[in-house]
């Protein structure tokens, strides 16, 4: 059964502006160390940062803002084949257990100016 669905769109240039303005302070408040490392291994880290931010926002929308969530409690990782998956920690992990959310589905995409993420939560 579907618990929730969320989608979010992020302008890549906006992500670049925010990172250039706030630097590590912003990055460490929003992304895990592993996410930051992964993104900065890419030719254009702002693409990867934008879709990861969109994924975090989409997950928050999918849970219906039921609890306050720290962005760093949501992590986007890539499995061996390159497919992105969501890993949750902290209060969010407890929320998933309490609400019997057993699977997350994540799709990421970007095209020139925008990055988009869609999240489906399954019980």
Catalytic residues: 61, 110
- Over 19-56, what HEC string results? HHHHHHHHHHHHCCHHHHHHHHCCCCHHHHHHHHHHHH
Give the confidence band of 82 by pLDDT, cuts at 50, 70, 90: confident
| Mean pLDDT value of segment 67-96 | 95
Domain membership of residue 32 as a residue range? 2-122
Rounded to the nearest integer, the mean pLDDT of the chain is 96
Residues 6+ apart with CB under 8 A from 80: none
**Span 6-17, average pLDDT:** 98
Instruction: Decide if pLDDT at 66 tops 90.
Output: no
The tens digit of pLDDT for each residue in 42-59 reads 999 999 999 999 999 999
In the prediction, which pLDDT does 37 show?
97
The count of domains in the chain is: 1
We report the CATH number of the domain holding residue 110 as 3.90.470.20
pTM of the model: 0.95
> Which band of pLDDT confidence, cut at 50, 70 and 90, is reported for residue 32?
very high
The pLDDT of residue 6:
98
Burial code (b: 16+ CB inside 10 Å, e: under 16) for 89-122 equals eeebeebbeeeebeebebebebeeebbbbbbbbe
- The percent of residues above 90 in pLDDT, for the chain, comes to 94
Report whether pLDDT(34) > 90. Answer: yes
Interval 52-71 mean pLDDT: 94
């Amino acid at each position: 059964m579907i618990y929730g669905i969320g989608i979010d769109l992020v302008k890549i240039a906006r992500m670049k502006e925010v990172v250039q303005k706030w630097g590590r302070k912003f990055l460490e408040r929003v992304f895990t160390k592993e996410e930051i490392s992964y993104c900065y291994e890419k030719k254009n880290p702002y693409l990867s940062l934008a879709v990861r931010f969109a994924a975090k926002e989409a997950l928050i929308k999918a849970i219906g803002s039921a609890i306050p969530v720290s962005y760093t409690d949501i992590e986007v990782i890539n499995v061996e084949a390159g497919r992105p998956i969501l890993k949750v920690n902290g209060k969010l992990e407890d929320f998933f257990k309490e609400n019997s959310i057993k699977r997350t589905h994540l799709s990421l995409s970007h095209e020139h100016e925008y990055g988009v993420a869609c999240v489906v939560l399954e019980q």
